[in-house]
Amino acid sequence: MSILSNEQHELFRQEVRQFAEKEIKPLAAQLDETESFSVELSRKMGQAGLYGIDIPEQYGGRGLDTLSYIIAVEEISRVDSSQGATMAAHNSLGLAPIYNFGTEEQRKKYVPLLTSGEGLWAFGLTETNAGSDAKGVETLADEKDDHWLINGTKRYITNGSNELMKGITVLALSADAYGKKRFSTILVDRDSEGFSTKRMLGKMMWRASDTAEIKFDNIKAPKENLLGEKNKGLGQMLKTLDSGRLSIAAMGLGLAQGAFEMALEYSQKREQFGEKISNFQSISFKLADMAMKIELARNTLYNACALKDKGLPFGQEAAMSKLYCSEIAKEISDEAVQIFSGQGLFKSSAIERFYRDQRILQIGEGTSEILRMVISKHLGLE
């Protein structure tokens, strides 16, 4: 992995920002309105090198550091959270577990395809009774002589039903040598017999991303599709979520930056009482607080990335980053709507979409309540 200098990071930021402004921004409002997942945009993100940013070049990635990846998620989300969600979920939840825990054969089989833009991969944790409580997973994987027999249902799965989706990493219950249920992760290809998926529509946020319910009906997955060690799946998932929290934090940071920029620009154009509203202390102080919170959020997140790139523990900092960035995304988008006033309540204004999109950030990859528990445990508290 190549650790970039500050100057290289800023050059990379401009590269991603130009892509987002040119390719995504013109389509974002319409895709949101029609709740359409864009296969073309997803392919373009892969062709632009936005899948596998921190994956070695030998597998089709760019071999860059964690911060480069986080900057990319931030810049895409500054324009559109739906495309940010597609990119973040594919990288941190789709690609990363296969690269981090997979065999060399698994890496060669899946990773180059998934970095190219011609395939997306999903992450199967959440079920009706499993989310914050990961141990509530009820999907079963019975070990047979030459395969795993998988039955169950996953819900709220990002990138789970579109035509680019090639498969999913499934967390499932499996029996150990003593008959006790343990958790294992298994790679399940979409073309497996008994695999069915359905897109979940009617979301208030990320309307242009693909969220699905996936059912496994007596699916036979080859023994070699076990990801990592048997009975170690829960630990793999939790480690994946640590890194995934950095992605959600980056989405919150990018959304907050985009909302702030829109509010700042609007305040310098909108006039009331013969003055630009940015000249009123009540508005200028709002903008000052927004800028301060964004800077604090960025420093917190980038510090967590630096720890990860140095091979140091970063779980506590990832939880803090995700919690803080998601909370300031809420606060800043709310204040931005207040600055836009009535105009901010109509879909003709992009800030309305940003206000809706921020709401999931306090839920996905660990709710704000769960993250406070995680941080408390790192502090040695029960």
Q: What kind of architecture, by CATH, is found in domain 122-231?
A: Beta Barrel (2.40)
In this prediction, residue 320 carries a pLDDT of 97
- CATH no. of 234-378: 1.20.140.10
E strands, 108-229, in order? 120-124, 140-143, 147-158, 165-175, 181-189, 195-199, 211-222, 226-227
Q: What is the pLDDT of residue 201?
A: 97
The two structure tokens encoding residue 231: 């009975």
Among the options 23, 138, 365, 369, which is catalytic?
Answer: 365
Q: In this structure, what DSSP letter does residue 189 have?
A: E
Sequence-distant (≥ 6) Cβ neighbours of residue 336 within 8 angstroms: 259, 260, 262, 263, 290, 344, 351, 354, 355
Strands 211-222, 147-158: parallel, antiparallel or unpaired by DSSP? Answer: antiparallel
Q: What is the pLDDT of residue 146?
A: 92
At 159 the pLDDT is: 98
C-beta atoms surrounding 285 within 10 Å: 10
User: 268 phi and psi, to 5 degrees?
Assistant: -90, -5
Q: Quick one: pLDDT at residue 6? A: 86
Burial (CB count <10 Å: 0-12, 13-18, 19+), residue 210: buried
Four-point Cα dihedral 32, 37, 41, 43, nearest 10:
170
Instruction: Please give the Cα distance from 147 to 366 (Å, whole number).
Output: 32
CATH class name, domain 6-120: mainly alpha
Domain ranges of the chain: 6-120, 122-231, 234-378
Please, what are the averages of pLDDT over each run of 10 residues along the chain (382 residues)? 76 98 98 98 97 96 96 98 98 96 97 96 94 89 93 97 98 79 94 98 97 98 95 90 93 98 97 95 98 97 96 95 97 98 94 98 92 95 84
Is the Cα dihedral 260, 262, 265, 269 positive or negative?
Answer: negative
Active site residue 365: yes
pLDDT of the residue at 29: 97
Instruction: Give helix 66-79 / helix 81-88 axis angle, nearest 10°.
Output: 150
